[in-house]
Amino acid sequence: MPKFVKLVLIALWLGASCMGAQGGRESRTIRVAMTPAFLHDQHALLAEWRDYLEFRLNRPVEFVQRDRYRDTMDLLQQQKVEFAWICDYPYVMLKKELRLLAVALNQGKPSYRSYLIVPARDLQTRSVHDLRGRVFAYADPYSNTGYLVPRFEIKQSGADPATFFKRTFFTWSHRKAIDAVAAGLAQGAAVDSYVWDALHKVRPDITAKTRIAWKSEEYGFPPLVAQSNVPDADFLLMQDVLMNMKNDAHGRLLLARLNLTGFIAGSPQLYDRVEEMMRLIGER
């Protein structure tokens, strides 16, 4: 950690303790569910981000990590967490029960794509249609880019996604789907472009074993959501903290490490295309 960041941290901490001494610190923990929509196994980074949020919110913050989207969805529905960073697909599914908190900016835009990746030595594949009869890795059944997109593409061509591949399996995370292709276990996988790009920065040796064969259109970036019962004050505070991350040095550093440019409030319309695809494929 650069020295000046440490200094800033110390200064902020001193300021916060003064504030705490004056106003008192609210003890109710804010729970945020994290999903494999991003590189959720960077535990050190997550811990640092959590500390940052605690400091900013002046509240204890707990990150609740679940591998499967479904689990996170359950946590939200059962109101066991206040906020969650989920994929666009679950968001669309639970739209009515959730409030859109913020959308991260991926390379300046609140969007991402689905990458169709194949082993690096496979130089022929141009689209998912070339992978008929192969072994294919899906990320999660509630993933847009890792499940909905490839199946949508197959369905569009008139084939049946259920029998198109010889064998399919779920890795329950985009990161592991990349691993599956890199290891040669699967001959193809559909992954979150943001995860692939982030991994490409951290572990280029793994991404080098894969090749992006096809890129989808853009979809709304996995949103941060709040369950409907979260008080407005908490909602707005959280939103404010996230959106202001880019305005302080530590926040910018964390964003850089998350491979993000910032957070915006976003709008539900960002996810209309996903909803449309879901309808077209008959899942909504």
Partner 1 sequence: MRLFDLSLRFKLPLWGGGLIVATALAVSTSFVVQAWDSLNQDLQQNAEDIGRTMAPSLFPVLLHDNVWGAFEIVSLPFSANPETALHESLIVLDNDRKVYVSSRPEEHPVLTELALLGPDYAALDGDLPMAADAGIFARAARGAQRIFVAVPIANDGVRLGTLIVTYNKSLLWQRFSRLLNRAFWITLLVLGVLLPITAYWGRRMMLPMRLVTERISRIGSGELEALDPALYPYKDEVGQLFLAYEAVLAKLREKAEFEKEMLKSERMAAVGRLTASIAHEINNPLGGMLNAISTLKRHGDPDPVTQKTVSLLERGLSQIRETVAALLVEAKVKSRPLGAADLEDVRILVMPAANKQGTRLSWVAALPNALPLPSTLVRQVLINLLLNAIAAAGHGGQVAVRALTSETHFVLVVENTGQPLLPEQLTRLFEPFTSFSDSGNGLGLWICYQIVTQLGGTIGAESSKKITRFTTIIPLDLQHDASTAQNLPD
The binding site for partner 1 (CB under 8 A) comprises 119, 135, 137, 166-167, 169-172, 176, 180, 183-186
Quick one: 140 or 153, whose CB is closer to partner 1? Answer: 140
Quick one: 145 or 173, whose CB is closer to partner 1? Answer: 173
The least distance separating partner 1 from the CB of residue 184, rounded to whole angstroms, comes to: 4
Q: Under a CB-based contact definition with an 8 Å cutoff, are residues 32 and 62 in contact?
A: yes
Quick one: 67 or 234, whose CB is closer to partner 1? Answer: 67
Quick one: 166 or 279, whose CB is closer to partner 1? Answer: 166
Quick one: 166 or 284, whose CB is closer to partner 1? Answer: 166
In whole angstroms, how far apart are CA 246 and each of 90, 241, 243? 27, 10, 7
Strand ranges of the sheet holding 223-227, from the earlier edge strand across to the other edge: 61-65, 30-34, 83-85, 223-227, 98-105, 262-264
| 269 Cβ contact partners less than 8 Å away, ≥ 6 residues apart | none
The DSSP annotation for 32-52 comes to: EEE-TTS-TT-HHHHHHHHHH
The least distance separating partner 1 from the CB of residue 183, rounded to whole angstroms, comes to: 6
Quick one: 183 or 208, whose CB is closer to partner 1? Answer: 183
The least distance separating partner 1 from the CB of residue 78, rounded to whole angstroms, comes to: 23
Helix (H) or strand (E) holding 170: strand 167-170
The least distance separating partner 1 from the CB of residue 167, rounded to whole angstroms, comes to: 5
The least distance separating partner 1 from the CB of residue 121, rounded to whole angstroms, comes to: 9
Of the CA atoms within 13 Å of residue 150, those in its CB half-sphere come to 33
| 45 Cβ contact partners less than 8 Å away, ≥ 6 residues apart | 39, 254, 257, 258
The least distance separating partner 1 from the CB of residue 195, rounded to whole angstroms, comes to: 16
